[in-house]
């Protein structure tokens, strides 16, 4: 597992790892929940990123509020999240990179590409949509605990989270 470092992003610190030895610089905006150190314990993840590392210099990071990155006081906007990609790219020295958005990272990668096209060599999107619909744009400035409570209420009382 590569060393974990921290990139400044405004008042927050973002946990990131950079590894690989190839001509392509790749930054990955990951899914809804991540933990860049625990991810290495998953054999499929490890095999996938090790293969990427044969031809890419890869930057992985935990977005603000998850994993090893700092917690956030309110819901982040897409602009805030796009700034996270830029902060990680700056920290690892990527001038222009292939930007990959996986799941929840897709809208962020799209925003980054739309607002900073000079920093994007290519855009890779997987398992994503341009907008997640369970919360509206007017919810962006609300308290995350309130949003979580509303979301769980919408799931219903029969919903049981599980890792099985």
Residue 46 lies in a domain: yes
CB atoms under 10 Å from CB of 86, counted, come to 17
Q: What is the pLDDT of residue 155?
A: 67
CB–CB of 87/61 below 8 Å?
no
Q: What is the pLDDT of residue 141?
A: 67
Residue 156 lies in a domain: no
CB–CB of 15/62 below 8 Å?
yes
Which range of residues forms the domain containing residue 50? Answer: 5-133
Please give the tally of structural domains in the chain: 1
Q: How many CA atoms lie within 13 A of 7 on its CB side?
A: 24
Residue 158 lies in a domain: no
Average pLDDT along the chain, 164 residues, taken 10 residues at a time: 97 97 95 92 95 97 95 85 98 98 91 96 86 58 75 68 52
Residue 154 lies in a domain: no
Residue 129 lies in a domain: yes
Q: What is the pLDDT of residue 8?
A: 98
Q: Is the dihedral of CA 11, 69, 116, 27 positive or negative?
A: positive
Residue 39 lies in a domain: yes
Residue 139 lies in a domain: no
Residue 91 lies in a domain: yes
CB atoms under 10 Å from CB of 97, counted, come to 24
Q: What is the pLDDT of residue 127?
A: 81
Q: What is the pLDDT of residue 48?
A: 94
CB–CB of 36/17 below 8 Å?
yes
E strand intervals along the chain = 5-9, 12-19, 24-29, 56-61, 97-102, 120-126
Q: CATH no. for residue 70?
A: 3.40.50.1820
Angle, in degrees to the nearest 10, between helices 78-92 and 105-115 = 80
């Amino acid at each position: 597992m590569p060393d974990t470092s921290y990139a400044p992003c405004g008042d927050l610190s973002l946990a990131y790892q950079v590894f690989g030895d190839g001509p392509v610089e790749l930054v990955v905006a990951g899914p809804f929940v991540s933990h860049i150190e625990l991810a290495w314990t998953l054999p499929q993840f490890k095999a996938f990123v090790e293969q990427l590392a044969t031809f890419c210099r890869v930057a992985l990071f935990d977005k603000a509020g998850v994993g090893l990155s700092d917690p956030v006081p309110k819901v982040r906007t897409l602009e805030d999240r796009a700034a996270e990609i830029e902060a990680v790219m700056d920290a690892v020295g990527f001038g222009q990179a292939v930007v990959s958005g996986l799941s929840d990272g897709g809208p962020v990668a799209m925003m980054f590409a739309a607002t900073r096209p000079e920093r994007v060599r290519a855009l890779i999107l997987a398992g994503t949509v341009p907008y997640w619909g369970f919360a509206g744009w007017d919810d962006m400035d609300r308290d995350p605990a309130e949003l979580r409570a509303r979301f769980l209420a919408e799931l219903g009382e029969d919903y049981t989270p599980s890792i099985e």
